[in-house]
Structure 1
Amino acid sequence: MKKVSIVILNWNGAAMLHRFLPTVVDHSADIAEIVVADNASSDNSIEILKSEFPEVRIIVLDRNYGFAGGYNHALEQVSTPYYMLLNSDVEVGENWLGPLIDFMDAHPEAAACQPKLLAEHTRDHFEYAGASGGYIDRYGYPYCRGRVFETVEKDEGQYDDIVEVLWATGACLMIRRDDFWRVGGFDERFFAHNEEIDLCWRLFNLGRRIFCVPQCHVYHVGGGTLPKGNPMKTFLNFRNNLTMLYKNLPEKDLRHVMRMRFWLDYVAAFKSLLLDRNWGEFRAVIRGRKAYKAWRADFADDRRNIQASRVVRNDSSVADLLPRASYSILWQYYVKGNRMYKYLRKAK
């Protein structure tokens, strides 16, 4: 029995499957089961899979469950010890899985890990979605080693060390089957965006650890389903990010962080309206906040359970940025001009 299943969630991604799935098959079929879970596509994805990739297992879902729900429904049907969640727009190379499997085998404390993500179109630069491992600042804004807001760094080997991170990107995420289901998988209510950060944070709260293993690297296109700047993407990001904070923040931090986010989110909304003249983005931020407020009570039990099961860690090896940085990334980026991760590490 193979140890790893590579599970690719697809929704109307026939072009991406045709382009990138051959690299996965060529460099993985000997050591991993390859699965494509189709989120009720209306294009010819299934036909392409059946005709061009007979070695790939197909799971057909009855409707589009989004990223979170789609993976949950698909992974219920996968039994290998390790899941490798892989976006359909990722190109992999020879022996790409080896370093990740070796690391997970050698580190039972690790629930999940990611490789280094580079941009498929500019291969010497990091890719926005995950770069070389993710963190969040004190107010819940995510950033990565190699990507802070819109600033994406050139990869010069500066983040090639294996480090513990708060979150690993869902674009290429290796996770233990037992850990995935220990926390109930992704929160399907999120549909898409921030679900992997929420998952990793919940695991961290249980004392499990997340790593970036840059000895493996892949190339990611990114933004295939909802491109950056799409109002729906903005809506989901704001709604889900606030919900994630409500679920996972310790009691001592919750009120202060949510009060600050109220003001920071409205500053972002009015910047979109007054400076960028982007009415769609303005409305998306406001809608995201209203949607969070409307469904917050639905997550009260989740919050109580997460806080009740939280493990207090006194491990000196844990990076001082975990689980949240002590600073505001907005202040560092826009006021102090610290736009790269290496400068944030020195921030106070």
Structure 2
Amino acid sequence: MSTENDTAWPAVSLVVLNWNGRQLLEMCLPSLANVDYPHCEIILVDNGSTDDSVTFVREHFPQVVIVANEENLGFSKGMNVGLRQAQGNVVVLVNNDVVVRPNWLRALVRPLTTDDTVGITGCKLLFPDGQTIQHAGAELTYPLAHSHHYGYQETDEGQYDEPREVDYVTGAAMAIAHQVLDDVGLLDEGFAPFYFEDADFCYRVRAAGYRVMYVPEAVAIHHESASMRQVKYSRLYAFHKNRLRFVLKHYTTRQFLDDFIPAEMERLKEPASPEELRTVRRAYLETMLALPEMLSLRGEVDKAELFQAALEQLRETALGQRSTIYGSRPDAWYQEELMARRMLHEPTFSSDKPVIGPLIAAFREAWNNVSTKWYVRLILQQQVAFNTLAAELLDDLGDQARTNARDAALLARELAAMHRQFAELAAEVRDDLDELRQQLDRIEQMLEHDSDGDGDG
């Protein structure tokens, strides 16, 4: 038990996000309930769990405040629900797969109470073996914005035991001064359903003049991605989509066009699975559709065509890489080959045994004729019909997919053009309003002058 003056510590709100994590809560909540800290509330935000998470918490942890969402809102949106409920001077985001040590919270909060320039603190996270480092602060590599966690998979031998300023800390266990939330706002819910929301928040906080600190005395065990193994949503797609969102939020135009785009095109030339290529093409397309919103935030709507062309170039490069993996055959070849192989044929039997071989083959042929006539032939007919239907369906789907891709790209260009026209129109309206305001000011001055003249007379 700490001997420090308990009245000097700020009130803390621990916000735990949960989705179908009853077994994880059995480990997480007892560790939070037993932290050595005087003024602490625990808020559980349940993202529409279908297991008995909420019932379990109500029965075993009645002191926990439960906020039950009707559906899975993802990380940012779910956490924001809890952040709005939090009453503490310090708010700590906690994953439901984190187990903390008793002195974890005091160590995490202390820098926020002794240095006003510190806005966020993060802890040392270990893998379940308690010896291997998972996180000791982090950075994003430039220009591709890939995450690099310091110490990842290194044995903890004290090499990361010095507090230091870092680019960002993971949202799995992050302490935030409440004043920071007032100054910077909540998590960006555009980073749905997860990935990059913690890095984005830390970058925004640093841009506001605060520091982000890694605190090695605050130690916790993280059962990494234990809850996300249940998520059916494509993690690969979420990663690429949100990586692009982060880049568009934090890179200058020149950084995006001159550094990120060439580096991303080189990355696409590396060996990749068909799934990743499909996923990244989808992420590029979704980003094209989100360009109007992103460019409005940047105040660069007039540069829509530059960003649009760059993203289209990435999509074409990814598509070309698919052709490299599969060879130069056009898509039609696969439909033709499937149609050619759709017919199944009865086997012809033979035997290499001398003398009795022909008799064995004749017996097998006779038996096959009987079984084929009464059973197998019917199955073959059904399989041929199914194969034919599958080939025709794949052909239709291929045509539809190509049409959809062209329509989506066209829609993205049209949306960008419409948004640019809207921005130009809004600028014209602002100019007209400014001119009207100036005219009203001149009229008011003239009226005042006339009024003064009448008084003198």
Cα distance in 2 between the residues matched to 1:265 and 1:298: 26
Partner of 2:130: 123
Q: Is the 8 A contact 2:166 2:213 kept in 1?
A: yes
1:296 to partner: Cα distance: 2.3
Partner of 1:175: 176
Q: Is the 8 A contact 2:37 2:105 kept in 1?
A: no
Partner of 2:272: 272
Q: Deviations over 1:155-202 (max 9, x none)?
A: 111111111111110000001122134222111121211101011111
1:228 to partner: Cα distance: 11
What amino acid sits opposite 2:108 in the alignment? Answer: L
1:259 to partner: Cα distance: 1.3
Identity %: 27
Structure 1 pair 60/260, CA: closer, same or farther in 2 (3 Å)?
same
Partner of 1:78: 86
Which of 247, 252, 255 is the equivalent residue of 1:253?
Answer: 255
Q: Is the 8 A contact 1:134 1:145 kept in 2?
A: yes
Off by >6 Å, runs of 4+ in structure 1: 228-231
SS at match of 1:76: helix
Partner of 1:25: 33
SS at match of 2:169: coil
Cα distance in 2 between the residues matched to 1:258 and 1:293: 16
Partner of 1:323: none
Which of 131, 137, 147 is the equivalent residue of 1:133?
Answer: 137
Structure 1 pair 11/226, CA: closer, same or farther in 2 (3 Å)?
same
Structure 1 pair 39/76, CA: closer, same or farther in 2 (3 Å)?
same
Structure 1 pair 252/282, CA: closer, same or farther in 2 (3 Å)?
closer
Which structure carries more relative contact order (alpha carbon 8 Å, separation 6+)? Answer: 1
Structure 1 pair 209/181, CA: closer, same or farther in 2 (3 Å)?
same
Cα distance in 2 between the residues matched to 1:40 and 1:29: 30
Which of 8, 14, 21 is the equivalent residue of 1:13?
Answer: 21
1:144 to partner: Cα distance: 1.7
Cα distance in 1 between the residues matched to 2:231 and 2:162: 32
1:215 to partner: Cα distance: 1.2
Structure 1 pair 285/189, CA: closer, same or farther in 2 (3 Å)?
same
Bigger fraction of residues in helix: 2
Alignment of 1:61-210 (within 5 A): 61-120=69-128, 122-127=129-134, 131-139=135-143, 140-147=145-152, 152-191=153-192, 192-210=194-212
TM-score normalised by L of structure 1: 0.78
Q: Is the 8 A contact 1:39 1:60 kept in 2?
A: yes
SS at match of 1:188: coil
What amino acid sits opposite 2:141 in the alignment? Answer: D
Structure 1 pair 118/230, CA: closer, same or farther in 2 (3 Å)?
farther
Q: Is the 8 A contact 1:243 1:296 kept in 2?
A: no
Aligned length: 290
What amino acid sits opposite 2:132 in the alignment? Answer: H
What amino acid sits opposite 1:288 in the alignment? Answer: A
Q: Is the 8 A contact 2:36 2:106 kept in 1?
A: no
Cα distance in 2 between the residues matched to 1:280 and 1:220: 29
SS at match of 1:272: coil
Which of 210, 215, 219 is the equivalent residue of 2:217?
Answer: 215
Partner of 1:284: 279
SS at match of 2:70: coil
Structure 1 pair 294/262, CA: closer, same or farther in 2 (3 Å)?
farther
Q: Is the 8 A contact 1:133 1:145 kept in 2?
A: yes
Q: Is the 8 A contact 2:97 2:227 kept in 1?
A: no
Cα distance in 1 between the residues matched to 2:14 and 2:66: 12
Q: Which has the larger radius of gyration?
A: 2
Q: Is the 8 A contact 1:86 1:173 kept in 2?
A: yes
What amino acid sits opposite 1:201 in the alignment? Answer: Y
What amino acid sits opposite 1:283 in the alignment? Answer: R
Bigger fraction of residues in strand: 1
Structure 1 alignment gaps of length 5 or more: 274-278, 306-348
Q: Is the 8 A contact 2:139 2:166 kept in 1?
A: yes
Q: Is the 8 A contact 2:121 2:175 kept in 1?
A: yes
What amino acid sits opposite 2:284 in the alignment? Answer: R
1:222 to partner: Cα distance: 1.0
Q: Is the 8 A contact 1:234 1:284 kept in 2?
A: yes
SS at match of 1:124: coil
Structure 1 pair 229/77, CA: closer, same or farther in 2 (3 Å)?
closer
Query: Which stretch has the larger CA shift, 26-35 or 5-14?
Result: 26-35
Structure 1 pair 198/6, CA: closer, same or farther in 2 (3 Å)?
same
Cα distance in 1 between the residues matched to 2:56 and 2:277: 40
Cα distance in 1 between the residues matched to 2:186 and 2:36: 24
Query: Which stretch has the larger CA shift, 288-297 or 189-198?
Result: 288-297
Q: Is the 8 A contact 2:101 2:220 kept in 1?
A: yes
